Structure 1
Amino acid sequence: MRHSRTGAPVKSRRWGAVLAVVCVLAVLAAAVYWWAMLRPSSAAGSDVPRTSSASAEGQTGEAHTHGDVVREPTPEPVDDSLRGKAQRAVAAMSMQERVGQLIMAPLYAGTDPSALYDLIANQHVGSVLIIGNWWSGTAGVRQATDVLQSYAPADNRLLMTTDQEGGLVQHLQGPGFDTMPTAVDQGAMSTDVLRQSAAVWGSQLNQAGINVDLAPVVGTVTVDRGSNAPIGALYRDFGLDAQGNANHAIAFIEGMRDAGVRSAIKHYPGLGAVTGNTDFTADGIVDATTTLDGEEIAAFNAAIDADPGMVMMSLATYQRIDPNNPAAFSSTLIDGYLRGTVGYDGVITSDSLSAAALGGFDPREIGVRFVDAGADLACIGAADYVQPILDGLNERAASDQAFAEKVTRSAIRVMTLKYEMGLAQ
């Protein structure tokens, strides 16, 4: 055996060093063990937040380990609100399908529903206007609306609309439909009686397959009634002051909703101060008095609080709001005031975009101007305008990303209403 210079055996000294290292390692292992056992565990409910890098990693969908704990990624919460469902539905649509949701195509009395087959089944039109003098009663109208609904996807049915105001504006008549009094006569009712009456009229529309009534008129006549061709001369307003008109509009909206039918208040911000009827002329349709802080527009805003299904834009021009554009094309009025100041984020539809008031515009540009201003659902009264408006919207959306985003936002608003009404799944 070798010895060191001190006389100690070399082999004994080596074994001593090994034992010392083993002891140190054992102490370290014990310390690590007890630290792991006693430290707070975030997996067991600790309030210690993850680091930013861990959070970023968790978004990749992969599981990660921290010490002995395996952390699964936290799933993103699913937005089951009506708006969330609408957003997912629209995200799954092509741009052409989104554009189709922004079109309300007309079906006139006496026209076979098959005339709209291609528009609904192949071009994705999502709404229909039942227009003209239908004398076939609830059963006859229901036969047509059922056929139209059969052309639409089962999970995205049609908004089926009509103008059923009362008096001279009642498109659906015959067995099962009451003869509705004029709006002026409705204004003479108490609001409780009007709500009850509107529920009856709404139930008749429901039986006929109509789910949106393009009524009531909320405008306040501020000129001589006889000279006010679109409203006063036809007894289409409630015949009251602005506050009374608002209260009766709310009663009408609520009565229709009681029967499962939504309403569209019209014609924002009011046709009570013009002389020309925008349906038939481009003359006398400039309003020189209505303002954003006046009683007349306040009546509409009060009716909006009753949650109508839609707000319908006027085709008149309002000098003291936006002298350069009809209301339906005014971003000042729609995006700036109605969306921004009032805070309305529901569906904005139009008075008929094929009306004489817009006769100076290229049909392919009409829908583009309307949606570009912040509105959504293009109501079209003339069948030959539908295809040009569709084509114009599709062409602009394909070439202009900012406009395509507006189309998407509008489609989401329309689909949100459909989910709310049980038309979409």
Structure 2
Amino acid sequence: APESSGCGIFRESCERARECLEAPTASTSRRNLPANGDVDEGERNGMILAKSRLVTQIWSDWAPALMPIKSKKDETKLLSALKGAFSAASDMVNSDDENAATGVAHALITIGLNLGRLGIDHSNREVFASMVSEETARALDEMLQENVAVVLLPALRCSNVVAQSVAAVLIRVVLAPEHLGWTEQSESLLNGVLPLVEEDDKVISTGFARLVADLTARNPREDALINILQLCGGSARSAKISALNVLSEVLRLGREMTDDTIAAVTTTTLPRLKDKDIESRKAATAVLAHIPPQTMLPTLIRLLVSKDAEERAAAGDAFVSMLSEQRSPAQAMQTYFSALASMSRTEDAGADAERAKTTADAIGRATKLLTRFAETVSSDDWPNIAQVITRAVFDAPAASAFHQSMIALMPWIGVIPARTRVFDSCIAAFN
């Protein structure tokens, strides 16, 4: 069943499952294995076989969660699988062992896939009711309630980020379900977790940040968000970084924000790019990467020539992150060109020569950073990027910044299959 919100447990579990399935494959690729001088061929093949078996085991646990529930027998299997997953997670969640933490993530993804597929967190409760019998629905609700304190809350502090992430969404499903709207229980949960952002002497976990962010974003009032913004501007290191992480997660959820709220987020976060603490700068960079690019990119580009070295570096990281956060690499380039055009219009409106030179220098540095972005793009995406760049150059032949971008990216555009699309775009421009 499709979720009505963008952070449903099924989507979250699918994304984390994909990460887990890709990780063993990546780690056993030839380039990621130790060199021949360190490991003999037999040991190398043994590592590959072990990882292959792990992927097979993971898949055998998760694949059944994707199958439809058609009978009472299927419901019995579902309950059995969930009981087993909760039991396994309970046995491992308080262990410091890395393998145990991975096991917790494995178990929670199993739970998330099964429950999410049923639409347990859909805003319309009838979706869930139509998927299983009333008896099974009641058993599932009871199972979740029983395991909040035993499994889900401890998992927020698990060393495995995947476990944290899935646990955060499951807690929200149990204690502040979407179909009930914003209730007194939702308010109580938010009031209970929000002070911990400030009171904990350590930076809060990713999972905890996501739980706080989800509740903050759903809160019909903005008092919790205002509190987070105030902490972002504070002097206490842990509280500041924790609050920035929560703010980043709030923006990641994609909930609609007013222009005034976005402006407040930007105003609060930008000064953090000057912080001497690298973790604070990284957290601020993550926040800025989620702000609407048409608002943020011109500002970040201008900061690339800041007199403050930390601010320049952080702005560069935020610039690359923002491009990477777009729906597609081609969309990222289109967004970048729109930002350049906006800056050019501002300069054409009457900027003095010194400011025009500063802007040109900033754009020059942004152009150099495009190569960092390019290194993250897959070969399949380059034809579409080539089309966007070629079209931009033809539409604005006098825009030197567009030409600079094309030159900077030529090592990627000038190879098959991207270079063919360049000529296709040239032909289309004259039709």
Q: Which has the larger strand fraction? A: 1
Q: Which has the larger helix fraction? A: 2
Higher-RCO chain (CA-CA 8 Å, sequence separation at least 6): 1
Query: TM-score under structure 1 normalisation?
Result: 0.31
Query: TM-score under structure 2 normalisation?
Result: 0.31
